[in-house]
Structure 1
Amino acid sequence: MLVVSFILAAIGGYLLGSVPFGLVLVRAAGLGDIRQIGSGNIGATNVLRTGRKDLALATLLLDALKAGIALVLARWIAGAAGVPETTAYQIGLVAGAAAFIGHCYPVWLGFKGGKGIATFFGVLFAGPWPLGVIAGVTWLAVATIWRYSSLGSLCAALVAPIAAAVAGFGWEEVAFTGVLGLLIFWRHRSNIMRLRAGTEPRIGDKKEEPPVATAPPATEPSTET
């Protein structure tokens, strides 16, 4: 029965995590398919490229909440079914990790989803929340100093499992944050290439407008013979 509980938690978490809120919200607002805008990503950063900050914020919150809800709900159901607290917590972590994977690789969109940062923070704050605080402070510090959102995300993903190991968390949290951190690095491989090349856009950078072509000045017709 425990094996079945873990499997059901993984399936339920994946299905919840695979709900593409960015795509749904942008379409509902009549702005078309988010996959045809900007980077084509379904996450909050690309939703912001539509010019709708409210939609980007809603996408950010919903992407975080779906992972957190998956963890909390699976843990609560397992506990209500009489599963020991430690095992129920592990079942919750599995559901949260599955929600993260569902966000990055949603079956509904041909397994092409977001990069997982909002979902990562959501599942951390719903589970081992001190690691969520550490990762959040890391992201904020790096993003403030260097103004690279992607670099902040990568550093947060790197720091979380290290902090879990150093602070004496259990093997569950170390493995949990380690696996999700590796997936975040994999999903950000194009950002890593741009960071190395110095072409990654910074927070607050404005997109350069193409130069406006002007017609050459008109010339008077020649009267010379």
Structure 2
Amino acid sequence: MRVMAVWVLPANYLLGSLPCGLVVTWLFRGVDLRKYGSGNIGATNVSRVAGFFPALLAGVGDALKGFFGAYLALRFLGSSPVLFFLATFLVVVGHDWSLFLRFRGGKGVATTLGVLFYLSWQAALLCFLVWVVMVAITRYSSLGSLSGALAMPILLFLFRCPQAFVWWGIFAAALVFLRHKDNIRRLVHGQELKIGERRSEGHGGEHPGVERSEF
């Protein structure tokens, strides 16, 4: 168990650190994603810079990181709730603070959804549905992400998942809220722009105030 823990924990962090959005944008557009749009490596910024299909690939790639990280955690550390929790949490932390990007990264929504899909596909589908409904109603991607994150631990509990899964859901949701703190501030002050809205173009392709709920 200890040998597996030594391997799985850093492996999951490194797996999460893989910058799918950065790689996809470079392959399709030949540009550094960090210098355009919001500068974030998430799928939302990929969609602004490279379009829908590259953004879809980036989002799926980020989700697969979470899915495979959860598989490793449950396969090798499932008998230890604490180590399982750490391993699944680290794959999201790796995406948010990537070793390969000087500890910067995305906001972990797609990677979190990937972990959740492995733990409970029913809860994952319902969280995704919450995101879709909220975005359809409000056109705020950030509000959809926050709503889905809030529903996540509740759904894991209602589906009677193991306690370690529920605790992971609580901490993962808190991390999503932490990474969206700027979005929350703009929502409160009425400054968050809706999907598709832009203001004046700034340096390096930055759009001040643009909807920035990166995945």
Verify same fold: TM over 0.5.
yes
For CA contacts below 8 A with separation 6 or more, give which structure has more relative contact order. Answer: 2
Conserved 8 A contact 1:104-1:113: yes
For each residue in 1:189-225, what CA deviation from the matched residue of structure 2 results, as whole angstroms up to 9, or x when unmatched? 010011111121212x343568xxxxxxxxxxxxxxx
Alignment correspondent of 1:219: none
1:1-225, aligned counterparts within 5 Å? 2-76=1-75, 78=76, 86-87=78-79, 94-203=86-195, 205-208=196-199
Deviates more, 1:17-26 or 1:159-168: 159-168
**Greater Rg, structure 1 or structure 2?**
1
Q: What code does the residue aligned with 2:157 have?
A: A
Offset, 1:97: 2.1
TM-score by length of 1: 0.81
Conserved 8 A contact 1:161-1:175: yes
Alignment correspondent of 1:217: none
Conserved 8 A contact 2:16-2:66: yes
Offset, 1:169: 2.5
Conserved 8 A contact 1:93-1:127: no
Conserved 8 A contact 1:43-1:114: yes
Give the total of aligned pairs: 201
Partner Cα separation in structure 1 for residue 81 and residue 174 of structure 2? 22
In the alignment, structure 1 segments of 5+ residues that lack a partner are 211-225
Partner Cα separation in structure 2 for residue 192 and residue 131 of structure 1? 24
Conserved 8 A contact 1:75-1:88: no
Offset, 1:8: 2.1
Offset, 1:168: 3.0
Partner Cα separation in structure 2 for residue 135 and residue 173 of structure 1? 15
Partner Cα separation in structure 2 for residue 192 and residue 199 of structure 1? 10
Alignment correspondent of 1:213: none
Conserved 8 A contact 2:130-2:144: yes
Conserved 8 A contact 1:6-1:94: no
Conserved 8 A contact 1:34-1:47: yes
Q: What code does the residue aligned with 1:123 have?
A: V
Q: What code does the residue aligned with 1:34 have?
A: L
Q: What code does the residue aligned with 1:169 have?
A: C
For each residue in 1:58-80, what CA deviation from the matched residue of structure 2 results, as whole angstroms up to 9, or x when unmatched? 1011000111012224434x3xx
TM-score by length of 2: 0.84
For each residue in 1:81-124, what CA deviation from the matched residue of structure 2 results, as whole angstroms up to 9, or x when unmatched? xx7xx517876654332111100010111111000111111111
Identity %: 36
Q: What code does the residue aligned with 1:116 have?
A: G
Q: What code does the residue aligned with 2:59 have?
A: L
Partner Cα separation in structure 2 for residue 142 and residue 207 of structure 1? 20
Conserved 8 A contact 2:109-2:145: yes
